[in-house]
Amino acid sequence: MAGYENFNLLKVARSINAFVFSMFSIYFIYKIFTHLYPETPSANIQKTLLFYFMPTNFFFNFLLYTDPGSTLFILITFYLTMTGRFKLGALAGAVAVGFRQTNIVWVGYMCIWKIIRDKRHHFLSGEARLNLGHQISLLIAILVKDVTVILSKLYAYILVVIAFIYFVIVNRGIVVGDKSNHQVSFHPTQLLYFSLFLLPNLAIGLRHILRNLKLSVIRIFSNSVMFSTWLMLTTFFCVVVHYFTIPHPFILADNRHYIFYLWKNFIGRYWWFKYALCPFYSTAVLFMIPIIISSKEKVIVFSIWLLCTCVTLLPSPLIEFRYYMLPWLFLQFEIKPFGAEVVKKEKKEESAIQRSAIGKFVSSLYPVIIGYILVDIATLYVFLYKPFVYNGEVGRFMW
């Protein structure tokens, strides 16, 4: 009887993930995109679908993981924060931190984001437009000058942060549960893996990705400054992977996850493979920066996003694609619909093909969404119908 009750509780918990958390996440992500980009309703729908069918998001909606709940309450926090409902936003943020402790970083990010958003006209005028240094100085000046107003609005978030600090002190660490397998480390290679994860998953459409990638490669090998930058980045990344390629025990032992086979058959098998990836890391970085920073005020936002991404990913030696979801998601919020060009070109009239239904379809996010759905179907099929037996236990392949 106890086993039956536990089975039912497991089914209920999975159903909550699949039909409550994930469905409400769709609603709030659409509301966020609509609030940020009210002039592009079609693109907002496409971006919402892109999020839902993103393979590393979609798959875990059907398992008993904290990711769906964590993502939902982060989205609720962001929506309430951007619309000025700060007390409710802080409450949702506290729940999000309860699901995953590293969410405290994104709660802090949202507070800074709101301050910049409300004062964005300051970041678009005078010297603040020119470089990051001026924007950082301006942000500090705003924090000092308007400290009373800021505290009156965001004090509830500060209480969440104080409560979190108290928890860390009492718990003697950020980890809840098995601390031995979740040791903090310095893992900069994680950011390089993340750059390759981002490259095909930017919400600008497959056509834009391929075209801008081609232009980026041309610029790198035709411009001496760009080539020198690319070469220095590649050299630096080779040093990083040499000293900081960390094989977590779970990666080496848990043969359920696809990353186990990637490591076993490539990264861990051939000594040269990790170095061979470095030119691709450099190309990905140089490709994405102009697209991400599509306007001057986004320089400071992107810098804070990058800092928060480093804080959440650098300490983790475990490579889990689901850890990339929140950094990826917050980046999508800042990319203008079907984004910017890497190289400024003279504006030309669209061809008849580009104006056609096929041209519009190829330029949209739907080809990527369809690709995601096919991957989702394949991974769910393998998970459900292709189990394997290892050491007398049944295992199932998963992200």
Range in 30-39, 156-165, 361-370 with the lowest mean pLDDT: 361-370
Query: What is the per-residue pLDDT for 5?
Result: 52
What pLDDT digit, counting tens, does each position of 211-249 carry?
Answer: 888 888 999 999 999 999 999 999 999 999 999 998 877
Query: What is the per-residue pLDDT for 381?
Result: 94
Structure tokens, 171: 């718990």
Query: How many domains does the chain divide into?
Result: 1
Q: State the burial class of residue 358 (Cβ atoms within 10 Å of its Cβ: 0-12, 13-18, 19+).
A: exposed
Residue 96, domain member (yes or no) = no
Percentage of the chain modeled with pLDDT above 90: 52
What average pLDDT score do residues 72-81 get? Answer: 98
Return the top range by mean pLDDT from 15-19, 179-183, 217-221.
217-221
Q: What b-and-e string marks burial along 255-264, b requiring 16 or more CB atoms within 10 Å of the CB?
A: ebbebbeebe
- Residue closest to 243 by CA, chosen among 185, 184, 199: 185
Range of the domain at 294: 183-344
What average pLDDT score do residues 55-61 get? Answer: 91
Residue 264, domain member (yes or no) = yes
What pLDDT digit, counting tens, does each position of 345-379 carry?
Answer: 434 445 555 556 777 787 889 999 999 999 999 99
Query: What is the per-residue pLDDT for 338?
Result: 56
What pLDDT digit, counting tens, does each position of 322-347 carry?
Answer: 999 999 999 999 887 654 333 344 34
What average pLDDT score do residues 263-286 get? Answer: 93
Residue 216, domain member (yes or no) = yes
Query: What is the per-residue pLDDT for 200?
Result: 86
Residue 91, domain member (yes or no) = no
Q: Is the pLDDT of residue 388 over 90?
A: no
Residue 328, domain member (yes or no) = yes
Tell me how far apart the alpha carbons of residues 99 and 87 are, in angstroms, rounded to a whole number. 19
Query: What is the per-residue pLDDT for 339?
Result: 43
Q: Is the pLDDT of residue 128 over 80?
A: no
Residue 98, domain member (yes or no) = no
Residue 121, domain member (yes or no) = no
Query: What is the per-residue pLDDT for 340?
Result: 37
Query: What is the per-residue pLDDT for 231?
Result: 96
Query: What is the per-residue pLDDT for 348?
Result: 47
Q: What is the DSSP string of 244-258?
A: H----HHHHH-TTBH
Residue 325, domain member (yes or no) = yes
Range in 50-54, 69-73, 348-352, 388-392 with the lowest mean pLDDT: 348-352
Tell me how far apart the alpha carbons of residues 274 and 25 are, in angstroms, rounded to a whole number. 36
Tell me how far apart the alpha carbons of residues 368 and 362 are, in angstroms, rounded to a whole number. 9
With cut-offs at 50, 70 and 90, classify the pLDDT of residue 206: confident
What average pLDDT score do residues 122-138 get? Answer: 72
